[in-house]
């Protein structure tokens, strides 16, 4: 990568960090005030708020102002409908963990990612109440705020703490119960962004959940940059245009899980 | 309660808060350094460290210096073997969530409680990495650090987020799967103290886990002071001298759960 390419990435990284600082500040003010909550499909577990919509609208506009040719995949309908990953594709999750935002007032995130011709380039996860921005990518490394994050040590499954989707576990989705039993321990936190934050900080060693593209795009960029393997539960590459059952783990744990669940 | 009785409680409250400030500071220094970890019974999921032992020894000595007649129930063997709850009984959990302390470096707590003739009097939960001390009791109210905590609003089960023991859920213990399905959502965090912290902050509405006396003693004092109902899963009073499957919930959720699991 040339110096000017690196400079471009660093400039974009800093620009998006500034956007997220602004949104985090707003969201912290809003979390204690009245938020307009709606069930997305008559399902009390699938929530959307005015904050989700306003954040997405604001971020999508910022991206389109920066690059009018950018394509955007985002959760609440302000993005584009894409059929391929050609060119610059941005992913936006305006509030990840909306149930936590509404009910817990903690453990929610704002996420943005940039892919170029299908390749993960940059990712950002803002842990709003923790006031931490996780950002970077394979070329520029990963930082939490200003602090460089080291590569993940390799850990085997029996010594791994896994983040699992509680909903998938209790629905009996394939593999989850086995993973919950075989891992050293498992945790359920209710937000993909916060699950990735635990991973990036080295607090847990793997994460398995059914995720939409905007739930996984940023976390994938950052986790891969630290040496985590990110695939679907069969060990196949993710399709960034559809939902996937996502497996993120250290090399050894990833290999054990894929082998075990195939066997 | 007389003014002098209230003064006694406030003085004890402040004294123990100071002890915990000191231990929290130490534990934050130790969490990133070398900790001597042992499996308690050849079980990789049941850990004890030198920090557990040293904290307990230190706290038990502080308590005995303050009140040579006090009886102590504590996790790592420096306490007494009690057959009744007569007089002043202290409970000490020197590191709650030892696996999180060792592996995650977050989401662990130090807990102390004081019962008098079987009645919950005062409780303290120090969320070490969050730097929060939850403290108080029925007579003096509950505070997080210097901030008064309001009584819990009543919430029904379908609107409740529950903290559940991941180990009990995946082992198929009676009731857990039903609760995970019927609640709005469930979370697994790996520490009773941190689960109680989420409850006291109003972030979740109930908690179900199999707990030893030192795991539940402080949380029970504080949760009851805010209007939560704390019993075993049958709705019976806890036995503070043995392990219990503990149900902590708002009034309506508690009633629904006990009725549902009996039916």
| Segment B86-127, tens digit of pLDDT | 999 999 999 999 999 999 999 999 999 999 999 999 999 999
Of all residues in chain B, what percent carry a pLDDT higher than 90? 88
Average pLDDT score over residue span A106-119: 97
Band of residue A45 on the pLDDT scale cut at 50, 70, 90: confident
| Segment B157-205, tens digit of pLDDT | 999 999 999 999 999 999 999 999 999 999 999 999 999 999 999 999 9
What distance in Å separates the CA atoms of residue A231 and residue A51, rounded to the nearest whole number?
31
Q: At residue A6, does pLDDT exceed 80?
A: yes
Element (H, E) at B33: none
Suggest the residue from A31, A44, A128, A166 to mutate for an interface test with chain B (most B CBs closer than 10 A).
Answer: A166
Q: How far is B204 from chain A (nearest CA, A)?
A: 6
CB contact (8 A) between residue B203 and residue A106: yes
Higher-pLDDT residue of B67, A47: B67
What distance in Å separates the CA atoms of residue B230 and residue B245, rounded to the nearest whole number?
11
Pairing of the two strands A71-74 and B185-187: unpaired
| Segment A194-203, tens digit of pLDDT | 999 999 999 9
pLDDT of residue A263: 73
Band of residue B39 on the pLDDT scale cut at 50, 70, 90: confident
Higher-pLDDT residue of A76, B263: A76
In the numeric block, which tokens belong to residue B193?
């103290």
pLDDT of residue A40: 82
What distance in Å separates the CA atoms of residue A68 and residue B202, rounded to the nearest whole number?
44
* Beta-carbon pairs below 8 A across chains A and B: 81
CA atoms B14, B17, B19, B21: torsion sign: negative
Closest Cβ–Cβ partner in B105, B167, B185 for A45: B185
Write b or e for each residue in B243-261: b if 16 or more Cβ atoms lie within 10 A of its Cβ, otherwise e: ebbbbbbbebbbebbbeeb
Band of residue A32 on the pLDDT scale cut at 50, 70, 90: confident
Chain B positions in Cβ-Cβ contact with residue A181 (cut-off 8 Å): 170
| Closest chain A residue to B197, measured at CA | A104
pLDDT of residue B76: 86
Give this complex's ipTM.
0.94
Domain boundary assignment for chain B: 3-148, 157-262
- CA B5 centroid distance within chain: 24
Task: Please name the CATH architecture into which domain B157-262 falls.
Answer: 3-Layer(aba) Sandwich (3.40)
Closest Cβ–Cβ partner in A177, A185, A202 for B99: A185
**Longest pairwise C-alpha distance within chain B:** 51
Rg of chain A on CA atoms, in Å? 17
CB contact (8 A) between residue A99 and residue B186: no
Q: At residue A43, does pLDDT exceed 90?
A: no
| Closest chain B residue to A43, measured at CA | B184
| Segment B223-248, tens digit of pLDDT | 999 999 999 999 999 999 999 999 99
CB contact (8 A) between residue A166 and residue B184: no
Angstrom distances, CA of residue B179 to CA of A63, B65, B69, B164, B167? 43, 44, 42, 9, 14
| Closest chain A residue to B155, measured at CA | A103
* Domain B3-148 listed as CATH 3.40.47.10: no
The alpha helices in chain A, defined as continuous H runs, are: 3-31, 50-66, 98-99, 166-170, 176-182, 192-200, 213-225, 251-262
Tokens 């936190």 label which residue?
A189
Band of residue A139 on the pLDDT scale cut at 50, 70, 90: very high
Q: How far is B120 from chain A (nearest CA, A)?
A: 27
CB contact (8 A) between residue B188 and residue A188: yes
In the numeric block, which tokens belong to residue A126?
């803002």
Angle A6-A9-A12 (CA atoms, 0-180°, nearest 5)?
150
Suggest the residue from A152, A170, A184, A200 to mutate for an interface test with chain B (most B CBs closer than 10 A).
Answer: A170
Band of residue A63 on the pLDDT scale cut at 50, 70, 90: very high
């Amino acid at each position: 990568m040339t110096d000017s390419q690196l400079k471009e990435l660093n400039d974009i990284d800093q620009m998006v960090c500034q956007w997220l600082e602004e949104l985090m500040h707003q969201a912290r003010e809003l979390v204690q005030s009245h938020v307009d909550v709606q069930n997305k499909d008559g399902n009390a577990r699938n929530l959307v708020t005015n904050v989700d919509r306003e954040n997405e609208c604001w971020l999508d506009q910022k991206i389109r102002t920066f690059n009018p040719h950018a394509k955007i995949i985002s959760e609440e309908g302000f993005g584009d409908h894409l059929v391929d990953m050609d060119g610059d594709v941005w992913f936006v999750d305006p509030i990840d963990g909306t149930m936590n935002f509404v009910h817990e007032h903690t453990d929610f995130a704002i996420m943005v990612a940039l892919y170029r011709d299908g390749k993960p380039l940059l990712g950002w996860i803002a842990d709003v109440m923790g006031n931490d921005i996780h950002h970077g990518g394979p070329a520029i490394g990963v930082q939490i705020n200003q602090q460089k994050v080291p590569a993940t040590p390799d850990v085997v499954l029996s010594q791994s703490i896994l983040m699992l989707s509680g909903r998938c576990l209790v629905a009996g989705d394939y593999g989850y119960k086995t993973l919950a039993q075989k891992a050293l321990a498992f945790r359920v936190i209710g937000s993909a962004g916060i699950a990735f934050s635990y991973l990036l900080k080295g607090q847990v060693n793997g994460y398995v959940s059914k995720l939409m593209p905007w739930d996984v795009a940023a976390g994938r960029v950052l986790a891969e940059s630290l040496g985590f393997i990110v695939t679907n539960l069969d060990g196949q590459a993710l399709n960034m245009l559809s939902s996937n059952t996502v497996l993120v783990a250290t090399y050894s744990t990833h290999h054990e899980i894929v082998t075990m669940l195939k066997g």
